[in-house]
Structure 1
């Protein structure tokens, strides 16, 4: 992405719309109003999905709105900073010295109860706990995270020779668009996630193209397909009382009461991890099960069905490269 400072001095001259009364509204004003509306939607959503106090949310919404307009973001974006960066100083130092690192797209991965941000497989830090409640639901709908700035001087202390500690500012991008997709899906529209949680989407300026990567599909087949499939295929079914059963052992981490599917939660999270553990090694399962839950487990019908082992492995290969 071109640094925002390289674009502010040359806005598109022909942008904007003309109202029925003949008044010309500049495109910059249209975008500002759009981001302001998205900021209001985010304020409501974050208020329902986090423990932040109302005053904190109001301040964050105003600051994020200003940040989005200032950087000409394509949709409402929320600046933040990572925590737990003290263990990842060498990578932060290398990024601080890289002139092309600003607005670098980072990967988001679930690690237990945390979301970690990483670059080429190396962790930079964790999403602040106060933001997890609103960030997690929006990742499947296009929210992504970008490196904004490495903070700190990165110089050695004269007295000890040790480096000053560096921090990491990030921006959650496409928040406004993700909220719109989530609202569309909630009202029965075609709002299924169109981008992956490791999407290469960038914080963009007006006119820049976006690259979208659709997740690999894992179709849910009828239960009868288990008669003609592979022995490793995953079969999901319910008893007459509605109790969920799966043809893999339950490896409990989030849900002591067992498996579930068809939505995002602790039972589906355990199902996703247990399926991947049955077919793959534990590090791969731990790295990908939250994404597998969002892409696959949430789509399984209430009655269950069959997931082909070959389709799951194809999904994993796709996920590893995105």
Structure 2
């Protein structure tokens, strides 16, 4: 190291911006200001000045997730809360009658209202025969179950948290336990939850458009396919090995095809596309104003899904 000069620097020779009496030919790699040996700070390439190091520390990514979100202290927490919420709803449905539960009818996604049989759970009367059975004051076997087109708009969201059979909730929550923490670790808590909810809404909208209008759909699998789609998008963006994700997707498709008569392929497809779209908004947002673009893009995606639901509701009505 050179010793600092005692007098003023020679004319035309650069001097340290923090010590004007010290000559130097070294410049900060970030701001290009001249710095003396005492002000040099090691950087990945060359040296930086103390001011740039301080500024870099303020914007450090050590507490940021991969795509700008705040890193979760425990990436499992949100998934645990979602699992608990699904379990509570399942317990409430089980305690109020299981397949006969009116709570399940209230929360399940039904595109249009239908007249269900009170004595035979799972059975319903075609509209052409049900007009008298579900009218107020009649003594028939029919009970009217409202659908989205009748104003039960909440079903677009609540159906994602609704399960009747124990095997259904157990399988879905196991999948959430596997995929949820992995995605939250990548996106951060707020963005992970946004992807989950957007995926669930996209699944419901696809069911609304492509499923039988008098059917009923429950389950978190649409949102879970959304998490899988989001993981594939983020892994591809980061150029990570996604073989295990592809294997799980293939397995999910096989299960859906084999059980198509009792499994909502519409919900799975809608959730996958919704989750992939939401993740693409987050992962491919430019760094400049990234947070604003991410949340604005997610808001636009949500508005589009709501608009599609309203269009379909108008058709069904």
**The TM-score by the shorter chain falls in which range?**
under 0.3
Rg larger for:
2
Give the TM-score normalised by the residue count of structure 1: 0.23
The structure carrying a bigger helix percent of its residues is 2
Give the TM-score normalised by the residue count of structure 2: 0.23
